[in-house]
Amino acid sequence: MNAGSTKGQPMIETRPQAKLLALLRDEGPLSRVELGERLELPRTRVAAEVTRLGELGLVEAAGPSASRGGRRSTMVRLGGDLRILGVDVGATSVSVAVTDASCEVLAYTVEDCDVRLGPHVVLGRVAALAEKVREQAPGRLLAAGIGLPGPVSFAEGMAVAPPIMPGWDRFSVRDHLGALLHCPVSVDNDVNAMALGERHAGVARSLDDLVFVKVGTGIGCGIVIEGKVYRGAAGTAGDIGHIRLDDTGPACACGEVGCLEAYFGGAALARDAMALARGGRSPFLGEALAHKEKVTAVDVGRAAEAGDVGAVNLIREGGKRLGQVVASLVSFINPGMVVIGGGVAQQLGHRLLAEVRSVVYRRSLPLATGNLPIVLSELGETAGVIGSAWSGTDRAFSLST
Amino acid sequence: MNAGSTKGQPMIETRPQAKLLALLRDEGPLSRVELGERLELPRTRVAAEVTRLGELGLVEAAGPSASRGGRRSTMVRLGGDLRILGVDVGATSVSVAVTDASCEVLAYTVEDCDVRLGPHVVLGRVAALAEKVREQAPGRLLAAGIGLPGPVSFAEGMAVAPPIMPGWDRFSVRDHLGALLHCPVSVDNDVNAMALGERHAGVARSLDDLVFVKVGTGIGCGIVIEGKVYRGAAGTAGDIGHIRLDDTGPACACGEVGCLEAYFGGAALARDAMALARGGRSPFLGEALAHKEKVTAVDVGRAAEAGDVGAVNLIREGGKRLGQVVASLVSFINPGMVVIGGGVAQQLGHRLLAEVRSVVYRRSLPLATGNLPIVLSELGETAGVIGSAWSGTDRAFSLST
């Protein structure tokens, strides 16, 4: 079954093979006739490529197609035993999913893990979790994708000068994790992975141009243009967390002052919530702090739900600042959709969304906002692992060189 | 010579023909062997397409190529008598150039013309100027491109709800100008055209990702991604002039308040310069106003050159606000270059550039600014006509449908 492979990995030999696999991933089973039409290839060529991919174990027959008059064509689909790993490394947690070759999640797990423990510890945990989920959905592992909470050199497969990840700077995640998992690994920024997840399996399905805004411990943004992640000249596109709103604003973890992230996001929210609780300006948060060491964004969300004015104002102020930045982005890039996600955004939910919408619809060009949906992430905490799995398939289905 | 053409226009019949023409435009003369390699086509196919394009008068022989061992290959180039028109409609002027098929300017003219006179008058002037420049560089007109100072539906070839262009809303510039010039016409936003001009013939040559910021009467921005203009979901991408900086700022021509354009750009600068002159806070501008009805951005530039403190401060304040917006864009899109152009930017020159640079380098991510050139337009007032001519060739060299 692994004919033509090295280390268990199949070798994609021709561009049509790569395109064919991506097509089956994106559209599900197709007949040979449809494949020929979509790939603009003669029938005999399609048949030969399908046969070869069958020998590699990458595709399989899926019964006869519906008749379009004339002889029925055989349906072709991706191999049912193919597996992809999707990994999402957050500041304080690691999530791992195993998916089929169409990035459908078959098993998923998440555990607390501090990214500051460094790449050896964290990637070791990733490998252990991968083993666990793979047992729940056994099959042939083709590739893995991993998202990291910092700037990533996609081409080199490593984080570059990440502010909150000591020990990770230029550490080859691609090579190290590849050796642990015995498969090719695609490495990207976590927000880019989330954007891809929503693009391919979530609320932005089939949309070619979108912006995914993550509000987690930090704030970032993934940009999808013509269906692909846009990384920019140095790979930092979307790094809106450190757009400076005020030269005299609060200190940021990056060493500067007045960054968006220093005003809003999980860390800033926890800081402000603690101040409210201690200052007696929020009964709900004060009560919460009486029972534990610290209050976080989760408590702010709960407090706001309970109608706590201090908490509601925190979300309103933060949402306003986030909205100002998003409004500029909308005027600038005119996306087809804005998706708001990430752990903190999920906690704050529609209250945050309403604030962002109000600022963007008021501040951006009417032409740019006329048909612009601003929505919450649909995939929630699995957006990152699904998007990473997607990048994994892109790696697996690319031409071997 | 016009075999296979309708109304004098050649019909591009195959995708390889279209690619071949674009390749010759972008790279100059190539041998048949090189064409085959670049297009990944067999030699016989290249020969057949070259012959066909020769019959259509679109390409011609250019002597033997340098030997690479073996038989010499014939060089092929674009027909030397082919002509393209590039048109740039500004708020108060119209520029027209005639170029060869590689967008090299052969003749150029500009005259004052108020865009508010409406499409019939303005496009009539364009046709008259086109006739004038074509006399200076006769040849066979293939296509024209035109840039308009407002939001444009590129697909429909018309302006849509342009704020400063009464009478132009949804007027088919493509059809009307096409009928006047007897050739296909490509219609775009003026700033997109300028960005394309710098991308293909100016300071950003060979750069795939850049942002062109125009400071003219208004402020706008053209975004080039992977070598192509990025227009966004509704075609408004780059409209940074109406990013709102302050909810209580000055009134803008668009009907809102606090837009970037209401603080800076030609109109705002003229307003502030008049106030300085009348208020006695600028000796230079006061002196200028004594001799004419009004002072403009040109006078501000001259006053600053002469060391007038009031004028210098105007540029500094405006540059700071522009810089804030550009800093956000740089964090967001991480371009490979920022080009500052447009009539007012040319008047204010390096003083404005220095201010923008200082804000961007201070406010944007170090990773995004590390290798980021922020430069003045190289083509100056011809950026728009060259970019428009480029769009014209794209129209001429596309597959006929």
The reply to whether B261 and B156 lie within a common domain is no
Question: What is the pTM assigned to this prediction?
Answer: 0.87
Which of B380, B379, B345, B387 minimizes the C-alpha distance to B216? Answer: B345
User: At A401, is the pLDDT very low, low, confident or very high (cuts 50, 70, 90)?
Assistant: low
Does B5 map to a domain? no
Nearest by CB to B242, which of A235, A243, A331?
Answer: A331
Does A5 map to a domain? no
The reply to whether B43 and B120 lie within a common domain is no
The reply to whether A191 and A55 lie within a common domain is no
Q: How crowded is residue A33: how many other Cβ atoms within 10 Å of its Cβ? A: 17
- With CB atoms and an 8 Å threshold, state whether B334 touches A151: no
- The enclosing domain of B66 has a CATH number of 1.10.10.10
Does B6 map to a domain? no
Q: When comparing pLDDT for A66 and A146, which is higher?
A: A146
Residues facing A147 on adjacent strands: A88, A188
Interface mutation target, options B14, B221, B321, B328, chain A, most CBs of A under 10 Å: B328
Q: What is the pLDDT of residue B357?
A: 95
Does A92 map to a domain? yes
- With CB atoms and an 8 Å threshold, state whether B328 touches A327: no
- With CB atoms and an 8 Å threshold, state whether B232 touches A335: yes
A365 in helix, strand or coil?
A: coil
Q: Which of B38, B57, B78 is the C-terminal boundary of a domain?
A: B78
The reply to whether B150 and B209 lie within a common domain is no
Q: What is the pLDDT of residue B70?
A: 64
User: At B3, is the pLDDT very low, low, confident or very high (cuts 50, 70, 90)?
Assistant: very low
The overall average pLDDT reported for chain B is 91
- With CB atoms and an 8 Å threshold, state whether B232 touches A370: no
Does A8 map to a domain? no
The reply to whether A209 and A93 lie within a common domain is no
- For the segment B274-297, what is each residue's pLDDT rounded down to a tens digit? 999 999 999 999 999 999 999 999
Q: What is the pLDDT of residue B366?
A: 73
Does A293 map to a domain? yes
Residues of B contacting chain A (CB within 8 angstroms)? 151, 160-161, 209, 221, 223, 225, 230-240, 242-244, 325, 327-329, 331-336, 363-365, 367-368, 370-372
- For the segment A161-202, what is each residue's pLDDT rounded down to a tens digit? 887 899 999 999 999 999 999 999 999 999 999 999 999 999
- For the segment B6-31, what is each residue's pLDDT rounded down to a tens digit? 345 668 888 999 999 999 998 999 99
The reply to whether A265 and A349 lie within a common domain is yes
Q: What is the pLDDT of residue A292?
A: 92
Rg of chain B (C-alpha set): 23
Does A150 map to a domain? yes
Q: What is the pLDDT of residue B10?
A: 67
- The enclosing domain of A336 has a CATH number of 3.30.420.40
Residue B230 has pLDDT above 90, yes or no: yes
The reply to whether A304 and A265 lie within a common domain is yes
Q: What is the pLDDT of residue B4?
A: 36
The reply to whether B293 and B320 lie within a common domain is yes
- For the segment B345-375, what is each residue's pLDDT rounded down to a tens digit? 999 989 999 999 999 988 877 777 878 999 9
The reply to whether A194 and A340 lie within a common domain is no
Does A401 map to a domain? no
Closest CA of chain A from B241, distance in Å? 9
> Domain span at residue A58?
15-78
Nearest CA in chain A to B328: A243
Q: What is the pLDDT of residue A222?
A: 96
- For the segment A289-307, what is each residue's pLDDT rounded down to a tens digit? 999 999 999 999 999 999 9
Residue B152 has pLDDT above 50, yes or no: yes
Closest CA of chain A from B153, distance in Å? 11
Residue A69 has pLDDT above 80, yes or no: no
Q: How many domains does chain B have?
A: 3
Q: What is the pLDDT of residue B255?
A: 80
The reply to whether A303 and A334 lie within a common domain is yes
- Rounded average pLDDT over B77-103: 96
- For the segment B233-267, what is each residue's pLDDT rounded down to a tens digit? 888 899 899 888 888 889 888 788 889 999 998 99
- For the segment A236-294, what is each residue's pLDDT rounded down to a tens digit? 899 899 888 888 889 888 788 889 999 998 999 999 999 999 999 999 999 999 999 99
The reply to whether B260 and B360 lie within a common domain is yes
- With CB atoms and an 8 Å threshold, state whether B233 touches A367: no
Nearest CA in chain A to B364: A243
The reply to whether A86 and A62 lie within a common domain is no
- For the segment B102-146, what is each residue's pLDDT rounded down to a tens digit? 999 999 999 999 999 999 999 999 999 999 999 999 999 999 999
> Which residues of chain A make contact with B334, given a CB cutoff of 8 A?
231-239
Q: Which of A62, A78, A94 is the C-terminal boundary of a domain?
A: A78
A23 in helix, strand or coil?
A: helix
